Structure formats: structure tokens, C-alpha cells
Amino acid sequence: MKVIVDEDKCCGAGSCVLLAPEVFDQREDDGIVILLNAEPGADQHDVVREAVAVCPGAAIEVSE
Amino acid sequence: MSVNDQVLSYPIPSETPLDPPKEWAELRSGCPVAHVKLPSGDGARLLTRYDDVKQVLADPRFTRQLTAPDAARLTADGGGVFNSDLAQIIPDSGDGHVHWRRLVGRWFTAKRMAALRPQMARIAEDLIDDMVKSGAPGDLRASLGFPLPVYVICDMLGVPAEDREKFSYWSDTLLNLTRYGKEEIDAAQAEFFQYMSDLLEDKRANPGGEDILSELLAAGGPEEGGLSDLQILVTGMALLVAGHETTANMIGKMVGMLLADRTRWEALLADPSLIRTTVEETLRLDANSGFGLPRYLPVEAEIGGELLAKGTTVICSMASANRDESAFDGAAEMDLSRSPNAHLSFGSGAHSCLGQSLARTELQVVLEVLLRKLPTLELTVPAEELERVEGLAVGGLRTVPVRW
């Protein structure tokens, strides 16, 4: 699985970080997404897919 | 007469406290861009389908300029939070909005909210202890749901604890669409404005505080990349109002929904790892979330297969969208392990709720602490006898009577 984030679409809601804190974080100065791990392990795939589905800015994409 | 050929009065009343009005399903299937009459008597179009609501909330053509001369007024005297001139002081769109959102959004990151968990849990434990001390039955709304989010947001903003009650009153009044008259709403807004002016004055005179308002002041004015004094003031008001009433009501509704069928509560006791998905599912199924989000269309646009004229006001019903069968399997059923759960209760797109991580964390913590401290919790009345709070932009239950 490869994860891509789009900072311009990100609205800083933090739902991805609440779901998958090992894969996503937020910048301290403005709350915009930071991708910690662009190729997360299999144990993270479900929560990453969930983060994609619930992201309010549609700012996360995965290719598998 | 079917919903297809009449102008419905909006909001559409529901016969039972926790269930949606039956018209929602009819509108979704037969009339997804319905004509409605608002409390003011003005007309608007009501969107009830998931795809339409999601698109409009994220579409910049549908603006929040509800003060436009030809925008529908929500209430007869034009009061209420959506029509307020103050609502226009925070940049609504474009670069200005992005700038504001990022300055303020840093305070609401998921990590900061996770760090607040122990503090939130302590507040919840103390409030529950007080309720238990007073003896059963208790009112979970007044004892826990209402105070907790005020305490949390007041702490974040650096508002002294003794002023929390004032904030409850102001946020209740400003979000009210029909219960208070224009005079009361204007008076509350003026008092709130004056209080915040004084609070900011005090923080400017005593810099170094670690709260949101102190740090927004410390960031400097617009020329230094910060916000103007008026913008900081209105931001403070907006965060209090947005951070209080919404979550306060949701705590009561969440507990009410879970205790309405006590097998849900027992499932959570047996497996607390369901707390996260349960919170999302109660947010999705909240049939009493309030007015919905109004948007004003300054240009012509198509939505749901209908061409809407320039000057149209639309109302997005997220609560109806959340029950759309085309977006959720078994949409009417409560599934405590539903995942993913892309409900629209926090909106969607660039304006989606800034405080959603705060709200989620508060709801999760409250549920965790309640399950741990009061596993025998139950409603003292049948769920259908719970009463809705009328007239709020944010819907809720009047009381949540419980024993344990």
C-alpha cells in the first residue's frame, strides 16, 4: 500500500491522526497533515482505508 | 398529498425523540431538492441525499453569505447565529479563510486533543461523582453533558472557571432560533461581546498565558500574519458557542440512544474497544442534530439534477444524508462496529468542523468514564418519553433522566 496526501486539500480536522497515529500526524503550526509512513505495514491497512473514507477534505489517496 | 408536491414547513417535526421524521426517507427517494418554508416564511430548498449534501458542503459556489439581501431569512426577525453580522467577520472563503483556519486549527489537532484526555476524564469523573452524591435519579444532561464541554473549551480559551455559567446562557441564546426573541438574542450578544472585549484587554495587559486567546494576541495583528483584535474576539465567541452546545447536547443524545436499547450498553461493557466506532455511529444516527447547514447561492448551479437559480438558499440536512441507504448499508440500523463511517455530522470540505477531534475525544472520554463508573446506568423513563429541546439551531434532549 502506498499513501499520498494533498496538503492543499487538507482542512486539518485530524480524523486521520485519531485513526492511524502511526501513519499520520499534523503540523504543529497549522494542523495540516504530515505523512509519517507512506508505505504502512499490513496491520495498518484497515485504519488507513478508513482514514481515506472519512477524510473531510478528500486529501488522502492510497494505491494498492 | 405527497411530499413531492407540497411546500413543507421546516424544520420538519418528528413524532418521537430519537427517530427521524418519516418525510426524510420520502424526500430522499422522491424529492431530494425539496421546496421548504422556513420559520421566517421565506422559501428555501432542502437537500436530503448523501451525495448532494456532501457536494454542496464542499462546493465554494454555495456560500455562507446568509446576509445577502435576497438570501432567505431563517427566522422572522432575522435573529440567530447564522444571520449575525458577527458571523461575517471571520473570513468566509478563499485565502483569508485558509489563513484563519490554519491559525486557529493548530489548537485543535488530534495530538493536542489526545493530550487533553486525562484532564477531560478528571472533569467527567468529578461531575459523575457529584451526580451520584445527589442520589438517583439524576439528569445526565444537566449533571454531565452540559457542564463538561464548557469546562473544556473555557480552559482552552483561558476563561476563568467562575464565568462558565454565563457562557452556557450566551451560547444557548445565540444558537436559539425560536425560543428567544430578537431583543434577548441581541442583548446576550452585546453582553457576550463586552465580556470578551474585557477578557482580551485583561490578557493583553497580562501576556504569557498558554491559552488560545493569549497566543492569538501574541501572534500580532494582520500585518504580522496574525488576526485583528475584532477577529480574535469573534473567534473566541465562535469557538465557545461552537464548542459548547453541540457537544453538550450530543453527550445527552449519545447516552440516550445507547440506553434506549440496553443491549447496546451491555455490548459496550463487554467490549470497550467498540467505544470509538460507537461514538461515530451515534453521531451518524443523531436524528435531532438541529437545523442543518444553510448555504446561499450567488450564482446559478445544478445540484441533484435540478438547476437552482442565482439567489437560492439551500438547507443541507446532514442528519437525513447520514441515513441515506445509497451511502450506508443498513442505514437505519445502529451498528456499533460500523467502519468506515463517513457520516456528515461534522460537515465536509474546507469548512468541515474545526473542532471535530475535540468533539470526538470528549464523546469517547465521557463514554469510557461512564461505562467504567456507572455500568448499571439506565434510563428511568421509556426512550419514547424523552423530550426534545425545541427551537435550537443545535438539537438536544431536554433532560436525560437516569438511575444506576
Q: B272, B226, B286, B230: which is closest to B364 by C-alpha? A: B272
Q: Looking at residues B315-321, what average pLDDT do you find?
A: 97
Contact A26 B352 (CB under 8 A): no
Nearest residue, CB atoms, B109 vs list A26, A50, A58:
A26
**Which ranges in B48-181 belong to alpha helices (H)?**
50-58, 94-105, 110-134, 140, 147-157, 164-174
Contact A30 B105 (CB under 8 A): yes
Q: DSSP letter at B132?
A: H
B103–A contact, CB cutoff 8 A: yes
Q: Which chain A residues contact residue B354 at CB under 8 A?
A: 12-13
Please say if the pLDDT value at position B164 is more than 80.
Answer: yes
Please say if the pLDDT value at position B1 is more than 50.
Answer: no
The whole-angstrom separation of Cα B69 and Cα B311 is 9
Q: A63, A61, A42: which is closest to A4 by C-alpha? A: A61
pLDDT tens track for B261-304: 999 999 999 999 999 999 999 999 999 988 899 999 999 999 99
Q: DSSP letter at B79?
A: -
Contact A28 B106 (CB under 8 A): yes
Q: Please give the pLDDT value at position B84.
A: 60
The shortest C-alpha distance from A8 to chain B (Å) reads 10
The whole-angstrom separation of Cα B322 and Cα B344 is 6
- The β-bridge partners of A4 are A61
A53–B contact, CB cutoff 8 A: yes
Q: Please give the pLDDT value at position B390.
A: 67
Greater confidence, B147 or B52?
B52
Greater confidence, B243 or B368?
B368
Contact B357 A15 (CB under 8 A): yes
| Phi, psi for residue B279 in degrees, rounded to 5 | -60, -45
The whole-angstrom separation of Cα B331 and Cα B317 is 15
Q: Looking at residues A5-18, what average pLDDT do you find?
A: 95
The whole-angstrom separation of Cα B384 and Cα B244 is 26
Q: Kindly report which listed range (A45-49, B3-7, B232-236, B326-330) carries the lowest average pLDDT score.
A: B3-7
The whole-angstrom separation of Cα B362 and Cα B367 is 9
The model's pTM: 0.92
Contact A18 B110 (CB under 8 A): yes
| Phi, psi for residue B316 in degrees, rounded to 5 | -95, 120
Average pLDDT, chain B: 91
The residue of chain A nearest to residue B349, with distances taken between CA atoms, is A57
The whole-angstrom separation of Cα B77 and Cα B181 is 8
The shortest C-alpha distance from B102 to chain A (Å) reads 4
Q: Looking at residues B97-102, what average pLDDT do you find?
A: 88
The residue behind cell 499520498 is A4
Q: Kindly report which listed range (A19-33, B86-100, B195-209, B324-338) carries the lowest average pLDDT score.
A: B86-100
Sequence-distant (6+) residues with CB within 8 A of B90 are B97, B100, B231, B234, B235, B238
The shortest C-alpha distance from B99 to chain A (Å) reads 9
Nearest residue, CB atoms, A54 vs list B103, B340, B351:
B340
Question: Which amino acid does the sequence have at B404?
Answer: W
pLDDT tens track for A16-62: 999 999 999 999 989 999 999 999 999 999 999 999 999 999 999 99
Q: Please give the pLDDT value at position B391.
A: 59
Query: Could you tell me if B250 and B363 are in contact, meaning their C-beta atoms sit under 8 angstroms apart?
Result: yes
Query: Could you tell me if B240 and B355 are in contact, meaning their C-beta atoms sit under 8 angstroms apart?
Result: no
Contact B105 A12 (CB under 8 A): yes
A37–B contact, CB cutoff 8 A: no
List the grid coordinates of B14: 418528528
Total count of residues recorded for chain A? 64
- Local confidence band at B3 (pLDDT 50, 70, 90 cut-offs): low
Q: Looking at residues B225-233, what average pLDDT do you find?
A: 91
Query: Could you tell me if A59 and A53 are in contact, meaning their C-beta atoms sit under 8 angstroms apart?
Result: no
List the grid coordinates of B96: 483569508
The whole-angstrom separation of Cα B318 and Cα B347 is 7
The residue of chain A nearest to residue B340, with distances taken between CA atoms, is A50
Query: Domains plus CATH for chain B?
Result: 3-403 (1.10.630.10)
Question: Which amino acid does the sequence have at B33?
Answer: V
* Residue B230 Cα distances to B88, B173, B202, B218, B247, angstroms: 11, 21, 15, 15, 26
pLDDT tens track for B361-399: 999 999 999 999 999 999 999 999 999 986 556 789 999
